Amino acid sequence: MNDLREKTLFFTKIFFKIPSSTKIIAYSLVLSLLFGFFWSVLAFGVSFKSLAIGFSSIVLLFSVLIPAFVASAFNKFKNFRHSLFTGLIGLAVFLFFSFLGLLFSEAGFSQGVIVLAVVSSSLVYLLWFVVFFFAFNFKLKSFVLSFIQPVFFLFFLLFWKFMNFLQPMVFSPLTIFFQLVITILIFLLVLWGVEIVINAPTKRNFGVSAVQVSRFFMSQWLNGGRELETLFSVSSERVNTLVSVVSFKNKGFEGMFVVPMVHYGPLGTLGGSAFPYLISKHLENRYGCPVIVFKGAANHDFNPVSASSVKIVNNEVELLLKKGVYSSKISFLHSKVGGSMVDGFEVGGKAFLTFSNAPSATEDIDQAIGFALRSRALSFFSDAVIVDRHNSKGEASFFGSDVFERLMKSVETIKKSKYSENMRVGFAETIVNSKQVGLAGIKVAVIEGVERHCLIVFDANNCTPSFREKLINSVKGFDFVDVFTTDSHYVNLVKGIHNPLTDESLIPIALETVEKAVKNVKSCRAKIETGKIKINVLGVQKSSEFIGTVNALISIVKIIVPFLFFLGILASLIILLFIK
């Protein structure tokens, strides 16, 4: 199962951050000019004519700009940068094949330029069609709009012919356009064949086509669309799980810890990915105090299928805040067995326990282990909140029996500090603009009694051991300090399944947030309450099926798709040789 998961995670690495519009335009300009100068020197040598040919290729920049503007106009002026990038790829494909055609022409195949230019233009049409049809959901308009860049390329060749920039060759504009249409039809047939092949596994397992899934995914990637949630909800499981809240009061609420036993995934704004932000935003507005959302014990099987289900968590927290009795007495808790440690505090006979295996790399403490740890902790406390610090990313290592035994032993050997009658707590937060930190930003809680504890919580998807170590070593004056992450998958849309904290420019920001929390410290009373909720999650069976299905698709795509496109290119070349 772990091997399947790792292969699936590798698949997500194809997603990357697209350059800015300015950079894409600059790349297109440079590529066009380089093509023009290399072409002219190879075809005509170094001369004034070759210089003119080189600069004339600047018009190819419009082959990128025009379709991008048109696509953006049809898409309510959204995704202009993505359209520009598509145009840049199309330009690169055309220039590569055209230059290859020139080499064939120099070798004696006089029609090499035209034949390969037509084939490349057909591939560019297919590229735009996939973007328009699947990503932008243009439907039937895709068939027409996809012609813009390929036709521009053909007009560019006609322009060069008119200017005598092409070596003598005979071709008719109508014939070229006819050839383009024929080769486009061939590649559309290839695309149809690919669709048939890749749809089979997903239709069999989930009753929906892979094409539809890819369209939904692209909608989320580009525009934050939630269509995938509809698919998730069809195959979801309704589960009973827990949500805990630690509330701190002075005259009013001073702050809260919220720990839902769900997983903040799968990605982007889908499902529970933005829960740390959504929960904290709602409760902060409702009660006027800082709210820190921690990661409970849960893995991807416990991904909520809908972002709207955050209301279930919020409603339960509001009910829990009306229950229980506050206490100003606090005792700090510590235990370490091997590489596994638990730290936290006790208030009113109830415990807030945070677990970590850092600096050893481990994945999620799953819900089964979480319930087992809580059950063991209930032998010593009247209630127990289980928090996964999720703070040491490395080579994937899932919790096995040895780690589980150490965690259980650490619960059984917890040592309590003396009780303090005067609990003091301070909160602070900083919202940052970072690709590695989600909307909830960086939050810090400082808790003082007979010890001083500092909890630094990033709305992020884990952190590297080196990042954690540097930050911890930079924080002075505390008996306990550690880095926590929410494991939010909000930050994972572009960089795949894993996007841990590595950016050390965040460390000074975190230190400033710690200083603010220290300044905000004041005497408080606290209580810990836990409640049960029912929520729809992806589920164990469907999670495994999804991973297996994706890997089946990857295996098929790696073999079948290149073969089908090779046949398509071969068929196009053969047909073009007979269409004069």
Q: Pseudo-torsion of CA 363, 369, 370, 371, nearest 10°?
A: 160
Taking the C-alpha atoms of residue 576 and residue 175, their distance in angstroms, rounded to an integer, is 10
For residue 428, what pLDDT is reported? 98
End-to-end Cα, the chain, rounded Å:
56
- The pLDDT assigned to 3 comes to 46
**Residue 115 to residue 332: CA distance in whole angstroms:** 76
What span, in angstroms and rounded, lies between the C-alpha atoms of 38 and 548?
A: 48
Q: What is the DSSP letter of 456?
A: E
| Matching residue, tokens 């919790």 | 399
Distance CA 350, CA 341 (A): 19
pLDDT at 561: 76
Q: Which of 205, 210, 39, 71 is nearest to 141 (CA)?
A: 71
512 burial (CB, 10 Å; 0-12 / 13-18 / 19+) is: middle
pLDDT for position 380? 96
CA atoms of 120 and 180, how far apart (whole Å): 9
Question: Which of 257, 457, 418 has the alpha carbon at shortest distance from 352?
Answer: 257
Which residues sit opposite 528 in a β-bridge?
246
Dist CA 276 CA 533 (whole Å)? 17
Distance CA 538, CA 208 (A): 16
**Burial group, residue 379, by CB count within 10 angstroms (0-12, 13-18, 19+):** exposed
Q: Which residues pair with 416 in a beta bridge?
A: 333
**What is the reported pLDDT for 495?**
46
Residues paired with residue 352 on neighbouring β-strands, in sequence order: 345, 385
- pTM, two decimals, is 0.76
Strand order in the sheet with 253-260: 291-293, 253-260, 237-249, 525-537
Beginning with the edge strand found earlier in the chain, give each strand of the sheet holding 383-388 in spatial order: 383-388, 350-356, 340-347, 331-337, 415-416
**Strand, coil or helix: 463:** strand
Distance CA 90, CA 339 (A): 52
* 535 and 238 Cβ atoms separated by less than 8 Å: yes
Q: How many other C-beta atoms can be found within 10 angstroms of the C-beta atom of residue 173?
A: 12
What three-state secondary structure class fits 283?
helix
What is the distance between the alpha carbons of residues 86 and 88, in angstroms, rounded to a whole number?
5
To 10 degrees, what angle do helices 112-130 and 80-106 make?
160
Neighbours of 192 (CB within 10 A): 11
Write the pLDDT tens digit of every residue in 439-493. 999 999 999 999 999 999 999 988 999 999 999 999 999 999 999 999 988 877 5
Per-residue pLDDT at 55? 79
Question: CA-CA distance, 93 to 84, in Å (whole number)?
Answer: 14
Q: Strand 291-293 relative to strand 331-337: parallel, antiparallel, unpaired?
A: unpaired
Q: Can you list the residues of the chain whose pLDDT is less than 50? A: 1-14, 494-496
Q: Is the peptide bond before 266 cis (omega within 30 degrees of 0)?
A: yes
Asked whether 267 and 273 are in contact (CB, 8 A), the reply is yes
Q: What local confidence, expressed as pLDDT, does residue 348 receive?
A: 95
